[in-house]
Structure 1
């Protein structure tokens, strides 16, 4: 699809202006996102790790007091009073312990002290199948699943044991309130909406700032969503990621594991708040980009119009110049290369006008002057030499013998072919000798030598031209006669003073000569036979001694007074006649 120059300039300039701005805005936004994501990731991960470490410390802090309640190895005979004292001391040291049960190696319960239930002493209840007792066979510290009670915070079962030859000798089982963990996650602050929470291996909430969510107990749908969050966070390898929470809100999360208990601390912040600086930057960038786009469009329009306008003027000017309106001029004032181009264009138009005028003058001159002579006159720039004046000239006439009879019965194409061959041959010779062709009609030619451009030895110059013309025409005549055309060629030359100049009117003018010398040359041509080149005395006396001419005596010509001595230029050698001026004048008068 072809587009106008204005459209091309507009799009190129617009793209050149807006592309760097857009690229800068996009790259700035991207790097801002990367930086913001890195800062956010570090902040969330730091909060999650800190909370996980605090929980680990909390659990570790329970192990020492709880371990002190376990009777030493082989001390199955410790009194209940002693065991009770140890248990009360541990519960005093750790207020989060809700109950303590001490079980001997056979699985029989010896003591149970509780803050929320009844105490039992030497109940002997069989607890060998209790998950805690079973778990202690493979782990020195065992953590049970989270226990949810309606209307109360969840709790955790924790158990420790003493061993006798790898067998459990005595074990202590404690139920621990997870309220301290709630206090830990409640301290997590990330912006206005950021919060932390803890989930167990099954994805159930253990601690959350909104304790009511924890007290609601296990929600399988919520647990599934939380497991997905945990798995996505673990897969991110400690980097914050964007996701949806259990409430299907867009959040950014980071997690840290609580290894001892198999829990996970997750810290989240809403995306709207987390990326608020980035969104603000995007809005600013978008606004600036919009303003830049408008400015770039206006600037591109102005520049494209400024650039394409002069070019359109140049195009219009070229069309007018091509149509021949060489007087058309461009007016472009841009102060740059386009203005200089317009100046060169105007100069070119002036030169074309001058060239056209010169070509027209040259064409007019070439109608009666040889091309090289016409060039000389034109270059001189002065056509006054074509004005009327007296000049000594050699008038040359030539025509074909028998042409009238030939033309009366010849076919038009044959007639025109003969004339074409005839004029092509003679025209080349006339041009060669730089003579002036004043007129031609049918088979007749009139030529001037020594006017309007003078030459040395005009008589000799004219005779040499006539000899070449005769020889060239005779070659044509030989071919014509083979075709059955009975045609001959004769010429007449006379030298003398004549009035020469350009005659005619504005639309058409010819250069010619007027005077007796013209009439005499015409009469000599009319009386010349085939192969003859008749000249008068004025021509003959200017020829060198080696020029073969034959005196044909005097002749009387119609329209001319007295007798004229006539000579014939021979192409073969002959005795040169006496050309004494006095004797010839006497003969001419006699």
Structure 2
């Protein structure tokens, strides 16, 4: 059967339009779906991670005041002192409903409650309490959700110190509810928090939490958590408790073992994609008439932006974070280009922050470096006058040891030495200005000030002396004749960052630094020598011994020297007038 030329052209043009447009429509729909799913997943994960971070911050904010209620010297603190610490912690954190203190023997010493009765020296045996057992095992323990009829749910948090003294706090979950209730993704999106067993901790509809444990719902939420983990953390499609089709992403609250879920209904989440499909169908029908022109226009519209995206991705991947992809189409490709540009900007900010953090962590403890970075102002590192406590320490007999020991033995000893001291320096959040061979110089109260710097420095010195003496015991069993001495002095000094662009250190300049160095050189093994300025700022129960006055090279006059002891002794006379008179004599 013969066909006319019209029919042939019609079929050819129809095929030339239908097949490419069908392929283009399908591919465009697919890429749009993938991009939209990735953006949605990133949005839900971002909201979940943000909520998890806020909850982590809430829990971390409780640890500090709660930990301050535990006596540092085991059970020697009086009940009155502990009660004051507990009341202060409850004042600082209104979310704490009650606090109980259990000593190392498992006996309850104190119980303070906002809603119930208080107990002092109750003596109840709580050694088998899950909170006590958990805290002594993991130092920080979180219990399951406590549901009370007609009141807000709460959890139990317990902390223990090295003396096995445990503080147990019941904490209201209302702040967690406030965090999740503020999360909105579109019109229908919401967040919820579950514990390790899948039970609700927080939900925008607080009545769902107050209804108590629902084992069926908990089982479903545990399955959802496992499904998200199996998907690599990306958002997944599922049905929620109301049997609605939703897209859900999750983020863990690592400290407590909880999980934050953020969900949005599929109808709302994919509404832009459905609308795009209808528009594509209409354009596909219209394209059967506008064959060649429309095909050419679509080819140019698709290939140009994709090429720009590819070139931009290569440049950004090569580290050119200032590059921007200029695609103004108003569709998915335009939004994708905007996401690329946003990613490049965030990478640039992250790179700058990492560089600043690397510079700061050269001489600051990680916590202090984070504080300076979050403040966003490095002016505190500029030159200024400050009252500081300079701390020097080094090993006795190290020079003789290093002259005869093997290089491997020397480096192993220094590695053990610095690892032990580094942990303490980081814990006390002080500034390590320099270290050379076996010597360290540390500043307390600069650049970030602290309360009672003299006491802070002495406590750190005692911990450093104790830790190093444990190492020395092992070294002496290997035949190493090594000791450890320290010197501390307090006074005004010029502090700030010195160096050049590629290398800078934070240091202090002044007589206080020279005096601390001379005290360290004069210290014998196990000694912590301090000057009068440090001694007069210490509390009356701090055991120190007056060693009389000494004259040091490079310093005018005589200096009264004290040694920090580890056993109780009679405290020397620290009256300023008496001290000056003695020094002059």
Output the TM-score relative to the length of structure 1.
0.51
CA-to-partner distance for each residue in 1:17-70, whole Å, 9 max, x for gaps?
Answer: xxxxxxxxxxxxxxxxxxxxxxxxxxxxxxxxxxxxxxxxxxxxxxxxxxxxxx
**Partner in structure 2 of residue 503 of structure 1:** 498
Residue from 291, 310, 317 that aligns with 2:13: 291
- 1:528 is aligned to 523
Please name the residue that 2:406 is paired with.
Answer: 411
1:37-116 pair list within 5 angstroms? none
Q: Which residue of 535, 539, 559 maps to 2:534?
A: 539
**Aligned pairs for 1:450-461 within 5 A:** 450-461=445-456
1:206-245 matches, within 5 Å, as none
Aligned to 2:246: none
1:275-314 maps to which residues of 2 (within 5 A)? 279-280=2-3, 284-295=6-17, 299=294, 302-314=297-309
* CA positional deviation for 1:437: 0.4
Change (3 A) 1:542 1:340: same
Residue 324 of structure 2: SS of its match in structure 1? coil
Deviation digits for residues 241-283 of structure 1 (CA, Å, limit 9, x no counterpart): xxxxxxxxxxxxxxxxxxxxxxxxxxxxxxxxxx6xxx447x6
Q: Deviations over 1:284-326 (max 9, x none)?
A: 4432121224445555565355334323332332332222221
- Secondary structure at the aligned position of 1:447 is classed as strand
Please report how far the alpha carbon of residue 500 of structure 1 lies from its aligned counterpart in structure 2 after TM superposition: 0.4
Secondary structure in 2 matching 1:351: helix
SS at match of 1:521: helix
Match of 2:566 among 549, 552, 571: 571
Where does residue 348 of structure 1 map in the other structure? Answer: 343
The partner residue of 1:398 within 393, 402, 409 is 393
SS of the residue aligned with 1:327?
Answer: coil
Partner residue of 2:543? 548
2:198 pairs with 1:476: no
Match of 1:318 in 2: 313
Q: Within 2, Cα distance between the matches of 1:308 and 1:405? A: 74
Indicate the residue corresponding to 2:149 in structure 1: none
- In the TM superposition, residue 569 of structure 1 has moved relative to its aligned partner by 0.6
Which one has the largest radius of gyration?
Answer: 1
Structure 1 residues 426 and 300, CA, compared in 2 at 3 Å: closer, same or farther? farther
Pairing 1:519–2:241 present: no
Q: 1:396 to 1:293 in 2, by over 3 A?
A: same
Mark the CA change 1:304 to 1:533 in structure 2 (over 3 Å): closer, same or farther. farther
Count of residues in Structure 1 that have an aligned counterpart in Structure 2: 312
Map 1:422-433 → 2, pairs under 5 A: 422-433=417-428
Structure 1: runs of 5+ lacking an equivalent:
1-274
Q: 2:379 aligns with which of 378, 384, 393?
A: 384
Residue 454 of structure 1 deviates from its aligned partner by 0.4
Residue 405 of structure 1 deviates from its aligned partner by 1.1
Per-residue Cα deviation, 1:320-356 (whole angstroms, up to 9, x for no partner): 2222221111111222121122122112211111111
Could you say what secondary structure the match of 1:497 adopts?
A: strand
| Structure 2 residue aligned with 1:335 | 330
Query: What's the counterpart of residue 584 of structure 1?
Result: 579
Q: What SS does the aligned partner of 1:360 have?
A: helix
Distance (whole Å) between structure 2 residues aligned to residue 468 and residue 412 of structure 1: 28
Number of the residue aligned with 1:231: none
| Post-superposition offset of 1:416 | 1.1
Shift of 1:440: 0.6
Structure 1 residue ranges (4+ consecutive) displaced by more than 6 angstroms after TM superposition:
none
- Measure the CA separation in 2 of the matches of 1:386 and 1:571: 35
Query: Counterpart in 2 of 1:98?
Result: none
Cα root mean square deviation, aligned: 1.6
* DSSP-derived class of the 2:358 partner: helix
Distance in 1, matches of 2:539 and 2:424, equals 22
Structure 2 vs 1, CA of residues 315 and 419 (structure 1 numbering), >3 Å: closer, same or farther? Answer: farther
Q: What is the match of residue 489 of structure 1?
A: 484
CA distance in 1, matches of 2:498, 2:347: 28
Counterpart position of 1:83: none
Pair 1:357 & 2:357 matched: no
- Structure 2: gaps of 5 or more residues: 21-291
Shifted more, 402-411 versus 460-469: the winner is: 402-411
Distance 2:401 2:300 in 1: 72
1:256 alignment counterpart: none
TM-superposed deviation, 1:396: 0.3
